[in-house]
Amino acid sequence: MTGWTGGQDSVGDIAPALAHYTDAVLFDEVWKRPELAKRDRSLVTVAALVTLGAVEQLRFHLAFARDNGATEAELVEAITHLAFYAGWPRAMAAIGMAREVFAEADAAGS
């Protein structure tokens, strides 16, 4: 049994191997490696997702980045910086998702 269960919760019913790798390898091993702080891993992950245009995955990772110590201002600045490298449409889509995620967090009081 792993500590992280997000993979099992989201896709375990249809893709148990993918759920296992997500939980046991990615979040229980990779995310806990000491060479990068979780905050830094979150910033790198958000940057990669913005660059890929993976807006759906940004919903989780923007909130996770906040939980890991990245501020909203840092996340917005990272997305703004990436507009020059990943493209304006990807940055604009990412900022739209950031707006939603931050508003949800504000409404929830976190």
Q: Give me the domains of the chain, ranges plus CATH numbers.
A: 1-32 (no CATH), 35-108 (1.20.1290.10)
As a whole number, mean pLDDT of residues 19-34 equals 95
- Where does the pLDDT of residue 2 fall: very low under 50, low under 70, confident under 90, or very high at 90 and above? low
Tell me the angle at which helices 88-108 and 55-67 cross, rounded to the nearest 10 degrees: 50
Closest CA to 79 of 20, 104, 71: 71
Longest dimension (CA), the chain: 43
Q: What is the pLDDT of residue 1?
A: 46
Q: What is the pLDDT of residue 21?
A: 97
Alpha-carbon Rg for the chain in angstroms: 15
